[in-house]
A and B are shown apart, each in its own frame.
Chain A
Amino acid sequence: MRSPVNIVMRKELKDALRDKRSVMAAMSYAFFGPLLMAVAFYVLISQLTDTSNVKIDIEGAEYAPAFVAHLERQGIVTRDEDWPAGQQPITLAIAPEWEDNIATAQPAKVTLTADFSSQKQRTDIRRVESAVENYTRQLSYIRLQMRGIDPRITQGVDLVKHDTATKGSKAAILLGSVLIFILLSVFFSGMNVAIDISAGERERNSLELLLSQPLTTEQLVWGKALAASAFAMFGGILSAVLIPFIFKFLPLHEIGISIVLAWPMILLIMLLLVPLALLATALQLFVSFRAKSFKEAQTYISLLLMAPMLVVFGVEFARVKNQILYYLPLTGQHQALLDIIKGESLQWGAMAVSAVATVLVSMLLLRLISRMLSSEKVVFGL
């Protein structure tokens, strides 16, 4: 005889596959997430590698023609057209005393006015700054040499930078944000199905009859959890497969990054996502079996989704480093994925521990749900 878990899972899968909304939801997140990242990176890269002239307002250019010529050689030119709406002008004002200051070897005053917090103009401002600094350095060298002093005297320390960042580890910073998408796709993709088979069952009044059938609540919950996590996994696999493809089409080499994700590594990523898919589903079922309607469950679950996002983003941006992260559910998978992408040596032991921990937590949650469904208070909302 087939196990009731199997019967329930097959039925839920059949039911969910016919629900276009669930299938679309599972696909779209896994699909559009990486795509969105691709577009963002494309814009970022083209901004970083932009070599066109920076056009700014230069006031008092007539006082310092040599300086302005220097700026022009560095690609900083006077702006003819108006600033686009919503963009603060970048203005470089040269003081009228320029000539005197240069002649008497005083610091010549140049004022740079701009919105320094502007994300878009950051590179432009940076380029103006470095062009000015460049000119200053040249000027001081000349002044020292004219006084018979070795210009190197101003250099107390000669800092030689050896960049040990491999191409892979530079990529890691970029890919860190992509990882978040892969991890979260597991949480998003199974969501609709999870709600439909729990809160939906209650909403369409089929829960009572189902609970009166000859199967334990444990079997029922497992059957449902496996069906929903199959959807979650599907989303995870889709995004994991898509991401290396998308990176192939991005001009990453232009910013000195190379990402090589071999297929065995992608398979490993998928394998790591399996326990996470179960956890995601268990969490969602735990919340939405308590809800009385689809809508109520959606509200709870969107709040619940904040949790993994906060954890992953928190670890990512706060740059938390602790060995414990390798062993815990969710952060364990996150760290392992980071290592895979950085091309660092993998901690197989830690990977196994976090996988087991994830499965254990999921099993505990599913046990709790089964208990819940055996309680008349929860079932009938007494």
Chain B
Amino acid sequence: MIEVKSLKKSFGKVTALDGLTFSAPEGQITGLLGPNGAGKTTCLRTIYGLLKADTGEALIDGIDANLEPLAVRKKIGIFPDKFGLYERLTAREQIAYFATLHGLEGDAGATAVQNVISRLDMDAIADRRATGFSQGQRMKVALAQAIVHRPKHLILDEPSRGLDVMSTRILRDLLRELRDQGTSILFSSHVMQEVAALCDQVVVVAAGKVAAQGTPTELCEQTGEEALEEAFVKIIGTDEGIAA
């Protein structure tokens, strides 16, 4: 369970989060939908303790990342806003690096790494160095790093950006599978279709606040619109920064 309670955060004069409150329960995919600059990335970074909220708290299973960052980070898998690979390591080595950092070593570690490689259908590239990987292959490695230790919580920041149809499908299938296993998944996006296709719950963020919350259908009903896109535009009052 990921809980965000009245988070406030400002950078100088810019207010990024202005009392954001929502929760991402287990076994559900929660989408954080909002235009660019709405505070999505700031919110996620606060949850895993890289940023410190001015007031309010972000809890993972009741633990505050600002107080016990290591305890929180053990429980989560992260697919960050920016992910870079170590170009001189093979895909397998990169994944193993993150597995060992989560305490998966020896045979258990090797098995976990192999499992995730098979699951993501990466055997062909597993022992190649990352130099020359395509965007989709890079995404797979980053995704494998995030889930290799089978976290109870998965946080993804715009995971589908720059991906082709096949890679997007793999990503969606994986997220659904993990959800069915009881993982609480929180991901940010500004892509309407993706949110509609995937999310059990949508949290619409605008200007650092929750503008609306509910299932995609509920959001449409609340606004009296047929399509989520129209509902979204109505909620945030503008169509700026949104991709269809």
Binding site for B on A (CB under 8 A): 1-2, 4, 7-8, 11, 14-15, 18-19, 201, 203-206, 208-209, 211-216, 376, 379-380, 382
Contact = CB atoms under 8 A, between A and B. Distances in A.
A214 to B, nearest CB: 4
Contact of A215 (B11, B86, B101, B142): B101
Contact of B83 (A1, A2, A205): A205
B85 A7 contact: no
Nearest to B65: A212
Given A14-B89, A15-B88, A208-B81, A376 B73 contact: no
Contacts, number: 72
List the 4 shortest-distance A-B pairs measured between CB atoms, nearest first. Answer: A204-B84, A205-B84, A205-B82, A206-B84
A382 B48 CA distance: 18
Chain B interface main SS type: loop
Contact of B98 (A18, A204, A208, A213): A213
Interface in B147-204: none
A11 B96 CA distance: 10
Contact of A212 (B48, B93, B103): B48
Contacts of A7: 97, 100-101
Contacts of A15: 86, 88-89
B101 A214 contact: yes
Nearest to A207: B84
Contact of B105 (A1, A18, A205): A1
Interface in B78-134: 78, 80-89, 93, 97-98, 100-103, 105
Given A1-B103, A2-B105, A212-B48, A19 B88 contact: yes
15 contacts: A2-B105, A7-B97, A11-B93, A14-B89, A15-B89, A204-B84, A208-B80, A209-B80, A209-B83, A212-B50, A212-B78, A212-B80, A214-B73, A376-B52, A380-B51
A274 B89 CA distance: 28
A196 to B, nearest CB: 10
B93 A14 contact: yes
B70 interface: yes
B94 to A, nearest CB: 9
B208 interface: no
A4 B101 contact: yes
Contacts of B74: 214
B145 interface: yes
A2 B93 contact: no
Give the interface size bracket for B toward A: 20 to 34
Nearest to B93: A14
A216 B101 CA distance: 11
A201 B51 CA distance: 19
Contacts of B86: 11, 15, 204, 206
Nearest to B130: A204
Given A7-B97, A18-B88, A205-B82, A214 B102 contact: yes
A216 B68 CA distance: 11
B49 interface: yes
B70 A214 contact: yes
B103 A211 contact: no
Contacts of B80: 208-209, 212
B97 to A, nearest CB: 5
Nearest to B46: A376
A346 to B, nearest CB: 43
A30 B101 CA distance: 34
Given A11-B97, A206-B83, A214-B102, 11 more contacts: A4-B101, A7-B97, A15-B86, A18-B89, A204-B87, A205-B84, A212-B78, A214-B70, A215-B101, A216-B70, A379-B50
Nearest to B106: A2
Interface string B33-65: 000000000000100111110000000000000
Contacts of B82: 205, 208
Nearest to B99: A7
A215 B71 CA distance: 10
A163 B87 CA distance: 62
Given A7-B97, A11-B97, A211 B102 contact: no
